[in-house]
Amino acid sequence: MKGDYYKTKASVEEYIQLAKDVNGKKLIEKLRKVLPARSGLLELGSGPGTDWRLLNEIYQVTGSDNSSEFLKHLRANNPHGEFFELDAITLETDHTFEGIFSNKVMIHLRDEELQASIKRQSQILGPDGIICHSFWKGEGTEIFKGLFVNYQNEKRLKKLFDNNFEILSIESYAEFEADDSLLLIGKKK
């Protein structure tokens, strides 16, 4: 079923092991160029918390996830951290932020869910709010370990974000192999 892989204790433990050497350091360095240190930042889908810990060294970061297993792990390992239970699609929060970051999280949203998320992100950002999101680069969709994965290219991302965000950059980068990923940085219109 959609999303189950991130929801059970066993699979969350497996994912944490598998992803232990992966982090978004290079992406966060790009974000740092457009979003000043100490800004209020929301991370979507913090998962194991690897990127949250890097972001926490620079920003007033709030982590979030829609998986209670990941939230348990995040809270247990970062007792001073702030973590919200949030679905990246609906983003039901009264808080506002200066930036929103995610690393390979919006890949799990279908196009109509992405559209809803993007609109909601613009609502919970202050003026000139910054977004920084990574995607798998490619065509079409697939189910991987029971998880829905939506591949993106530059043209599709421009179309999806254009109503709400000025796109500052869309760059290819290598997660596991050359040009397998895209990083989008945008500013609220």
Ligand X SMILES: C[S@@+](CC[C@H](N)C(=O)[O-])C[C@H]1O[C@@H](n2cnc3c(N)ncnc32)[C@H](O)[C@@H]1O
Residues that bind ligand X (CB under 6 A): 6, 19, 44-48, 50-51, 65-67, 70, 87-89, 103-105, 108
Q: How far is the CB of 51 from ligand X (least distance, A)?
A: 3
Contact 88, 66 (CB under 8 A): yes
Q: How far is the CB of 183 from ligand X (least distance, A)?
A: 13
Residue 89, φ and ψ in degrees, nearest 5: -80, -50
Of 90 and 166, the one with the shorter C-beta distance to ligand X is 90
Q: Write out the H or E segment, with its range, that includes residue 117.
A: helix 111-123
Distance CA 71, CA 39 (A): 23
Contact 35, 41 (CB under 8 A): yes
Distance CA 71, CA 80 (A): 13
Residue of this chain nearest to ligand X (CB atom): 45
Of 119 and 189, the one with the shorter C-beta distance to ligand X is 119
Bridge pairing between strands 97-103 and 40-43: parallel
Of 8 and 128, the one with the shorter C-beta distance to ligand X is 8
Written as six digits, the tokens of 28 are 């966060």
Contact 156, 114 (CB under 8 A): no
Of 87 and 171, the one with the shorter C-beta distance to ligand X is 87
Of 89 and 130, the one with the shorter C-beta distance to ligand X is 89
Q: How far is the CB of 99 from ligand X (least distance, A)?
A: 15
Q: How far is the CB of 170 from ligand X (least distance, A)?
A: 19
Of 50 and 181, the one with the shorter C-beta distance to ligand X is 50
Distance CA 15, CA 82 (A): 22
Q: How far is the CB of 130 from ligand X (least distance, A)?
A: 17
Contact 4, 11 (CB under 8 A): yes
Q: How far is the CB of 22 from ligand X (least distance, A)?
A: 7
